Amino acid sequence: MKVLDTEFVRGFIQLGDDGWKQGWHERNGGNLSCRIRPEEIGEVKDQLTPGEWLDIGTSVPKLGGEYFLVTGTGRYFQNVARKPEESFGIVELDGAGEKYRICWGLTNGGRPTSELPSHLMNHEVKLVASGGRHRVIYHCHPVNTIALTFVLPLKDEVFTRELWEMMTECPVVFPEGVGVVDWMVPGGRDIAVATSELMKKYNVAIWAHHGMFCSGADFDETFGLMHTVEKAAEILVKVLSMGQGKRQTIEPGDFRELAKDFKVELDEKFLYER
């Protein structure tokens, strides 16, 4: 089977194109990666042409020998569906999890996203935290979520509570809450470490004045999580823009009742009294 005909590559392209159509990927903004299952890589192994080993810039030993789909640095999400072999590629990690090599795609001198260290460090964290279930890491620049990082305190408790109050479904979709990273230079080890610490507890990390970072088991789950958080952020931006404050909202007791009916656990730190 050709690489572009596989289900996992088609899903990767679909998520990338959906994110572009949402307006979350100006120019070359954002990146996407997926840890490929052994049986999936087995479908295309005869088409892989491994290149030279290159340093990752961090160490992810638990991911040694794994293969990943990853978007390219400087490449545009608007081209993921139109120019797939140029826009993303398959990379293999060495046994120590310290080097990678391009095995397919990223043509015309392409390289993986500059935020590859962040992706891989978080894949390693989610591999452990989810028992191997999570395979997708997605980063984009959703307008409303970014806007909130200028007006809300950059605290997990505040962002989680405010987003939960915007739609009844939110505490069901992300019951663990969301984490927030203070502004940091993107693409380096520091922001990768800070994000991976949050990902031990959450599936969403919001990067102040930059964007959002989500983890999920598959493409639909990950995109759906990103979409839900951004929609809640859009509602909150509109509420704040009305300038009258909230006349009524979902209260802590309501969240507790919701948790019982939907069988989710909500941390009491998010249910503080105002």
Catalytic residues: 115
According to DSSP H, which parts of the chain are helical? 7-21, 38-44, 84-87, 116-129, 143-148, 156-166, 170-173, 189-199, 219-241, 252-262
Other beta carbons within 10 Å of 130:
15
What three-state secondary structure class fits 261? helix
CA 209 to chain centre: 16
Phi, psi of 99 (to 5 degrees): -130, 160
Give the tokens for residue 262: 């939907």
CA proximity to 113, closest of 148, 142, 88 = 88
Q: Which two tokens stand for residue 75?
A: 């490449």
Six-digit token string for 3: 């690489």
Only one residue has tokens 């969240």, namely: 255
